[in-house]
Structure 1
């Protein structure tokens, strides 16, 4: 069963450019993953500090592998102290 993810990342204003660059690096690496169907990054028009990922994964196993990938771990370490709030992740199924 496919897994649909919406993730919201909100940077502190002074780190907006750094966070955006790091997220764009995540896109490049993640789109190479076998279970990745879609991994799109968006930036809020009204609040440039807010970024939204829309993701589709082949299955939960593929998503679990993604969450253990080095590029994810690198972003998690990098983002410490650079985000306004913890990353918000919403996992859904298509109906």
Structure 2
């Protein structure tokens, strides 16, 4: 299993726009066969997506989905910083 944490920081004035874009991304991603978990968390203007994937090939497929590519290109102008993505391994 592969775990990913993505941190997305919206500009304060674009919180609702970013939230709507991310909600669409979550809805689409949860339909993917290799997706085990794709949970969205939020505090103020920071959105955190906690992901779990069955395997690397499933994650690779996700990374090339049109809705993810579209989110990345369209959200850039609404964000206060580049999206941070961490691939992690559970240790406990």
Q: What range is the shorter-chain TM-score in?
A: over 0.9
TM-align CA RMSD: 0.7
| CA–CA distance in structure 2, aligned partners of residues 76 and 7 of structure 1 | 12
Which residue, out of 66, 77, 80, partners 1:81? 77
Which residue, out of 52, 61, 65, partners 1:69? 65
Give 1 or 2: higher helix fraction.
Answer: 2
**1:16 aligned partner:** 15
| Contiguous gaps of at least 5 residues in structure 1 | none
**1:94 aligned partner:** 90
**2:39 aligned partner:** 40
SS at match of 2:77: coil
Per-residue deviation, 1:80: 2.0
Answer yes or no: is 1:59 the counterpart of 2:47. no
| CA–CA distance in structure 1, aligned partners of residues 78 and 33 of structure 2 | 30
For the 8 Å contact 2:76–2:82, the answer to whether it is kept is: no
Number of paired residues? 91
Q: Structure 1: which 4+ aligned runs deviate by more than 6 Å?
A: none
TM-score (norm 2): 0.95
TM-score (norm 1): 0.92
For the 8 Å contact 2:6–2:86, the answer to whether it is kept is: yes
